[in-house]
Structure 1
């Protein structure tokens, strides 16, 4: 197993052990020994005449019966068809630039078909030397389709060790990608260690080949994750890995990835992809918990959005048994001047007094122990402030909130709880996750007008299958009961994963998302909600305040929902989140009725939008029916495991420009065709930049036929938010907070320069001598599309963009380090005076700043998408 050492020493020990592993045939090759082919690849006069005739016929009629018959007759007349096929391939003009419908592919495909049907008669010709010559020839070109055909026809995987020396020669020549691909195709996993080509490919950010190799070797999955995790044991990943890079002489290293934050994402990615246990990544776990602790303390002492109980349980969840984190929580709490609380934690974890902050030791020496024990958490917000917020309360008696945590209670609720219901509210709760562990559904609340049933999923999941099936049939898949929710996507995913017995229909029969309804009602200016709310974003709390006058108290939201028994405050919080959906629905209906707005028609359109495509088409003429039958079906997606948003590259057709902007907001590398460009340009983007194509129904048939299966996605929905979800689901994309707004929305760039306010003022004053124009107050928030610097409270985060560099701008030239003009004139002077820091896109000069847009995205359009 991998040594659990520290940092650079652990990496060095691992490399030393791998390179001296007994039984490995490690030899030094020159540049030609694995490229020299023993076979004469020239064609004699008769063969050349045949080949010229074959080319003419193929250029005229392509893959037609006469061409196939002519080639098969030639194979049958050859003394050694294996040798002769290699000669034909080598003499094709486009052999080194083969494509799907080129002559080399045709020859290779026909030979594979012909040789399989006659294997018994020609198998004796398939000697190791001809396999080796075939390998050396086919690896001179890079089209994987042709390579796989030859590997298959010459049965190379049956004698893979013939090629080990060739692969080692590729490694010594730094051709890591090719060595990895061929080792995967030949199932030679056992011949190589992780440092032969896996770690170099990771450092070069060529993860696709790594993923394919690891899929066939659990041993390498473990060893690579342990190797990468060891580099997190020190403060700087670069200090640990740079000596390794120099020692191995690895070229083309992506040094922007050799930092703590992207390195942690990388380790997390592999651990999740291959479902590895958490104990394999001790350093990642520690880093995660450190970041989580800082996040919790910020929420407690800066945002004041924690109840005492939630604060305690979440800190203990993050700190665990780690003594260094136990000391750190005391230090961090004391930094906020909360010495009483810091003393409580010091005693709770029995931290050695030598590590106590001065203020905590002073408090202890003043003999205030009784006061501390009587009130361990003394905070400013525990007193009654003059402007205390009044929150919306549950308007049901306590006995109408039913915690369903036993089998008997569950059966009773399923049998009688929803007999007369035609309207319910549904919400879910799960424990926040800071590390690589997946979130698990803990509670599901179902509210009627008379009662709220809080289902304890932790205790009931996997039990009472018949009751879950009944609940699915009678409620979830019952179109006669209207089911309300808010931003339902994440709840749907959690429910379907945790409760398969529900047989939850993908049609989501009878579900109305109040968030979608709220957005839709913006199209009707006459519909005015009872209360005006400033800011807050499109959250449920904001909608409740707009409809019912007071916001929701979210102090219990960030709780450990898996702890049992549940606190009464948790149960009431969960119940209100479901019951308020019904209250909001009633208010929205009344407002629409007062404005003479067709409320039920709007709701019905939102309910049926996902089912509309599944309705049977009306009968029409035979010509039109034939056109629908000729439509190309969407093949399965190309990814077997989730991919990170910054690993996906796409190009959007001209009809999907709005989707392209949304994808950029998620941190996805997105090219967007302009209105004047033909959709065939998508194919060029795919060929040159390896981008997946996103298009609509019209061009899909043409474009999908020109790229591999799954590399072209037909977008079905007309709604931009639903289009985004289609892309994320099809390509299995995982979006985190680090990805959001990490790319320029104008040019797709990912490199930014951070500039202080003083530099921006100097640029602004130099750019225009005109007096500052009048700007409405609301302009600032509407135009702010900037980053945030505290989204995860990680010590490695200089700002939302991890690639933001310190300013080195020449104020006189007003240009970025890449030569783009800084568009400072697009930012009003009052905005510059409002913010301390700005971020300039190095590629196009667009200026961004810390505004509310980031929070609005997370709580609105990207709610339920960002993990």
Structure 2
């Protein structure tokens, strides 16, 4: 039989003697180069044939026979040629012939090891460069094994830098980063070479992997990113000056807000010091200040003394934040308070706004000295106090609340506890809230309550070198005692915080015994108790359990306060004592219930130590095993689904993937908070637990969050549905009844539901006066110039909607051209007054906010061109006539209205909020009698065709609501 032939290098024939066995006869007399090339060509074809036939065993056998037939000094070059010419090397899949060959070669070398001297002679720079070139274009697993076999990670691999430079010149930043990471060439490249281009392309995850294990590089990166966050820094100028142009720059991701989040993530990930990023720290501290100001001036949900404590502790000695705080007070139009705080912080008058400087000049020396002497006085007496509520009281007399700050005191506390028969204590802990990454909180107060006394352990004073050992011994004897029963509510979180605050106590906490968590015990007991009366238990919190047991809620107004400040206020001490003491009373109540109903329940079965031991196993996540669902309080009472509720009674938080749904629910009158695009999904959980809102989410976030909230407080939305159908699913899930009066009862911009009624003459006066105030914004940096809503709730909607007439719904309307007279008046007044105003956007004739932008993004000014706006096409027609006028419809709405909330001189509404009258087209003033302005953000609404359109879009929901209207009228639901 004739043997098949193939042609080798230079046309030299190669005769196959036994192709199936992989044996070949190679003619003699060939040069070295011809011989090496002929070898891989002869062996590659049969190897690929066997690979295609999925004969991996035969491939390995043939490959080893090939290596055994040649000198080991050419093995590395032979293998590299086989890999280089294999057809599937660059297919970017893990299972390839190239990878199999390399793996078998690695196995052989591990058995027949070469000396370092041999490898040095064999692995020339040229051969290693060839291996690096192949690795850069292959799958990751091929790169790894090539790097190992050809010593690409060795200390003498700097010659590979030239190849990476070629990639950078070709703008292949991602590939370059992978290569540098694989072979450890980080020291050969600057931040501007690889890291920053990837950041500009929004590939932060790759940058995190790139700098992993290089602390100096991590710090340098964070410092440079922080420079980009400096006030007034021009990132576009930096991009234009880079030596290598970067394609695909994500400019929207380079704003200060996004950059700050990235910096904080890197700082947390690599455990860096916040001092290396001062601009970011200042930004977050100012964000905390804005939050506190919002809580005080807008929500009015924080007592003045508590607020002042938090302001002082948050600002500290940071002069730049102090100046920013003064600016924020001016922004809220509280000039007197700004002047008083300016005196307290001794701000340089050259850094103060002119209005504050003038206020300081008007104040007399005696008042200034008094205000500078005591910042804690009430500076805002004109603000009304919160209404009196009948909270659950502390039954201990004041003299039985003992603050422990000495070694003697803590020893007396332990002696008192251990001297009692069957000792039992309630334990709770407090720490200062942290509003920014520059604040590091730790346990400041540990409350230990017996039936006669509440001991408040001042951990700040006790945890010093003189008493540290005594405190450690106290916790060891208390927590590890078999005789003392410890009660807490979600106490595992307190124990965790205690261990983080004082690491020397972590060993003590590992041995804690007889600790009962009343959260789990309460749910277990209530599950067995037959339903009684109309009692309903809230979804979470000790205050809900106390209310179920005793009919009153706990007073939580002092919960968010500065627990590290000394001396503690009496209100703080009472709050702290009650939080621990009420645990004893709740336990006694639950124990009585168990006895009364004859339940077979172990009152000590819900202890935190078991929970802690389970949580240590990180290899077995909770979701892998379908864990047993914890019953909620409502489940525990075996209650049927709740009766229908009105739209205004439902409060939800929407994940950032459901922003469109959130906006449309708000259109139906639902109280909705929406996460921002960059917020983590866990943020929804925090808002839910803090404000009692239900969570709307989907996909993996739903799986992650479901186990952390009670049933009925979270819904998995079907994202494949249109928003219109999603709305109905949500209303069905929560049993919500919607009436036409609920439509637009909430502000689309900020979720507020308090409006100021404005008549047409008043609107004309405000509109004309606002034209004289346009064009002089005192905040030049648009990235920081945020309105009330943008600062805190950040519910601006982005993305597309699923509604059928979305194009009509999101259509912009140009306002009418201003008359030349009004323009002259505005210019003259501007020069005379120099009053600041906000940038504006084009409004919508339907009274519906169509621009998905917050105030800081408003760059479009009033159009100075002719308009095709026809006011009669907006506010006339059957829908408007059928409504019998805006005032009648709004009077039926569940929204609240306020009279006398307008500031005509400054064009503001509510508590010094800019009245957005400049967004109202001039032609609307001729056809609308009444307007409604949101007192939270200043957005102006009026009734037009859009109300009818939304009613039509939600007709299926409104019809459903009307069917249930009888139930509402019968008293089943109250607003």
- Map of 1:286-325 to 2, 5 A cutoff? 286-323=282-319, 325=321
SS class of match (2:378): coil
Q: Which residue among 450, 456, 459 is the counterpart of 2:458?
A: 456
Q: Counterpart of 2:103?
A: 109
Deviation at residue 356 of structure 1 after TM alignment: 6.1
Deviation at residue 221 of structure 1 after TM alignment: 1.7
Q: Counterpart of 1:173?
A: 170
Residue 398 and residue 197 in structure 1: after superposition, are their counterparts in 2 closer, same or farther (change >3 A)? same
Q: Counterpart of 1:8?
A: none
SS class of match (2:737): coil
Q: Counterpart of 1:230?
A: 227
Q: Counterpart of 1:445?
A: 447
Tell me how far apart the structure 2 counterparts of residues 381 and 588 of structure 1 sit (CA, whole Å): 45
- Map of 1:212-223 to 2, 5 A cutoff? 212-223=209-220
Tell me how far apart the structure 2 counterparts of residues 315 and 147 of structure 1 sit (CA, whole Å): 54
Residue 130 and residue 474 in structure 1: after superposition, are their counterparts in 2 closer, same or farther (change >3 A)? same
Tell me, yes or no, if the aligned pair for 2:47 and 2:59 is still in contact at 8 Å: no
Larger Rg: 2
Q: Counterpart of 2:908?
A: none
SS class of match (2:196): helix
Q: Counterpart of 1:83?
A: 77
Deviations 1:722-768 (CA, angstroms, capped at 9, x unpaired): 9569xxxxxxxxxxxxxx99x9943399xx99xxxxxx9xx999xxx
SS class of match (1:119): coil
Moved more, 358-367 or 83-92: 358-367
SS class of match (1:157): coil
Tell me how far apart the structure 1 counterparts of residues 333 and 54 of structure 2 sit (CA, whole Å): 82
User: TM-score, normalised to structure 2's length?
Assistant: 0.57
Tell me, yes or no, if the aligned pair for 1:151 and 1:157 is still in contact at 8 Å: yes
Residue 560 and residue 505 in structure 1: after superposition, are their counterparts in 2 closer, same or farther (change >3 A)? closer
Task: State how many pairs are aligned.
Answer: 668
Tell me how far apart the structure 2 counterparts of residues 290 and 380 of structure 1 sit (CA, whole Å): 25
Say whether 1:512 aligns with 2:516. yes
Q: Which residue among 570, 573, 584 is the counterpart of 2:572?
A: 570
Residue 327 and residue 510 in structure 1: after superposition, are their counterparts in 2 closer, same or farther (change >3 A)? same
> Structure 2: which 5+ runs fail to align?
1-32, 631-652, 659-699, 729-734, 753-783, 811-849, 851-888, 897-933, 942-952, 956-975
Residue 776 and residue 54 in structure 1: after superposition, are their counterparts in 2 closer, same or farther (change >3 A)? closer
Residue 551 and residue 364 in structure 1: after superposition, are their counterparts in 2 closer, same or farther (change >3 A)? farther
Tell me how far apart the structure 2 counterparts of residues 274 and 150 of structure 1 sit (CA, whole Å): 30
Tell me, yes or no, if the aligned pair for 2:486 and 2:515 is still in contact at 8 Å: yes
Moved more, 808-817 or 327-336: 808-817
Tell me, yes or no, if the aligned pair for 2:403 and 2:456 is still in contact at 8 Å: yes
Tell me, yes or no, if the aligned pair for 1:342 and 1:360 is still in contact at 8 Å: no
Deviation at residue 256 of structure 1 after TM alignment: 4.1
Q: Which residue among 472, 485, 494 is the counterpart of 1:491?
A: 494
Q: Counterpart of 1:32?
A: none
Deviation at residue 82 of structure 1 after TM alignment: 1.0
SS class of match (1:445): strand
Tell me how far apart the structure 1 counterparts of residues 342 and 613 of structure 2 sit (CA, whole Å): 60
Say whether 1:276 aligns with 2:272. yes
- Map of 1:31-110 to 2, 5 A cutoff? 44=40, 46-48=42-44, 51=47, 55=51, 59=55, 61=57, 73=68, 77-97=71-91, 102-110=96-104
- Map of 1:578-617 to 2, 5 A cutoff? 578-594=580-596, 597-600=599-602, 604=605, 610=611
Q: Which residue among 486, 501, 511 is the counterpart of 2:504?
A: 501
Tell me how far apart the structure 2 counterparts of residues 302 and 462 of structure 1 sit (CA, whole Å): 41
Tell me how far apart the structure 2 counterparts of residues 263 and 468 of structure 1 sit (CA, whole Å): 43
Tell me how far apart the structure 1 counterparts of residues 245 and 483 of structure 2 sit (CA, whole Å): 67
SS class of match (1:562): coil
Residue 349 and residue 51 in structure 1: after superposition, are their counterparts in 2 closer, same or farther (change >3 A)? same
Residue 369 and residue 360 in structure 1: after superposition, are their counterparts in 2 closer, same or farther (change >3 A)? farther
Q: Counterpart of 2:865?
A: none
Give the root-mean-square deviation of aligned CA atoms. 5.4
Deviation at residue 577 of structure 1 after TM alignment: 2.0
Deviation at residue 614 of structure 1 after TM alignment: 11
Tell me how far apart the structure 1 counterparts of residues 279 and 245 of structure 2 sit (CA, whole Å): 26
Tell me how far apart the structure 2 counterparts of residues 814 and 449 of structure 1 sit (CA, whole Å): 67
Tell me, yes or no, if the aligned pair for 2:128 and 2:150 is still in contact at 8 Å: yes
Deviation at residue 48 of structure 1 after TM alignment: 3.3
Tell me how far apart the structure 2 counterparts of residues 119 and 334 of structure 1 sit (CA, whole Å): 76
Tell me, yes or no, if the aligned pair for 1:331 and 1:357 is still in contact at 8 Å: no
- Map of 1:347-426 to 2, 5 A cutoff? 347-351=343-347, 355=352, 361=358, 365=362, 369-370=366-367, 373=371, 376-379=377-380, 387-414=387-414, 417-418=417-418, 420=420, 422-426=423-427
Deviation at residue 321 of structure 1 after TM alignment: 4.1
Q: Counterpart of 1:21?
A: none
Q: Counterpart of 1:864?
A: none
Deviation at residue 348 of structure 1 after TM alignment: 1.5
Tell me, yes or no, if the aligned pair for 2:288 and 2:314 is still in contact at 8 Å: yes
User: TM-score, normalised to structure 1's length?
Assistant: 0.63
Tell me, yes or no, if the aligned pair for 2:50 and 2:56 is still in contact at 8 Å: no
Tell me, yes or no, if the aligned pair for 2:414 and 2:478 is still in contact at 8 Å: no
Tell me how far apart the structure 2 counterparts of residues 165 and 516 of structure 1 sit (CA, whole Å): 63
Tell me how far apart the structure 2 counterparts of residues 667 and 242 of structure 1 sit (CA, whole Å): 30
Deviations 1:68-127 (CA, angstroms, capped at 9, x unpaired): 9658746x7544111122123234444334655554333323323433452217412011
Tell me how far apart the structure 2 counterparts of residues 746 and 787 of structure 1 sit (CA, whole Å): 25
Say whether 1:775 aligns with 2:737. yes
Deviation at residue 140 of structure 1 after TM alignment: 0.9
Q: Counterpart of 1:559?
A: 561
Tell me how far apart the structure 2 counterparts of residues 574 and 303 of structure 1 sit (CA, whole Å): 24
- Map of 1:633-652 to 2, 5 A cutoff? none
- Map of 1:721-800 to 2, 5 A cutoff? 745-747=717-719, 775=737, 795=786, 798=790, 800=793
Residue 410 and residue 341 in structure 1: after superposition, are their counterparts in 2 closer, same or farther (change >3 A)? same
Tell me how far apart the structure 1 counterparts of residues 35 and 517 of structure 2 sit (CA, whole Å): 68
SS class of match (1:252): coil
Deviation at residue 542 of structure 1 after TM alignment: 3.7
Tell me how far apart the structure 2 counterparts of residues 381 and 482 of structure 1 sit (CA, whole Å): 48
Residue 353 and residue 188 in structure 1: after superposition, are their counterparts in 2 closer, same or farther (change >3 A)? closer
Deviation at residue 149 of structure 1 after TM alignment: 1.4
Deviation at residue 282 of structure 1 after TM alignment: 1.7
Deviation at residue 166 of structure 1 after TM alignment: 1.0
- Map of 1:125-144 to 2, 5 A cutoff? 125-141=122-138, 143-144=139-140
Tell me how far apart the structure 2 counterparts of residues 512 and 398 of structure 1 sit (CA, whole Å): 27
Deviation at residue 209 of structure 1 after TM alignment: 2.8
Q: Which residue among 128, 146, 155 is the counterpart of 1:150?
A: 146
> Structure 1: which 5+ runs fail to align?
1-36, 616-632, 638-649, 670-714, 726-739, 754-759, 766-772, 823-828, 839-844, 848-867
Deviations 1:396-445 (CA, angstroms, capped at 9, x unpaired): 23443333333444455456634645533222222222322343332322
SS class of match (2:451): coil
Residue 426 and residue 593 in structure 1: after superposition, are their counterparts in 2 closer, same or farther (change >3 A)? same
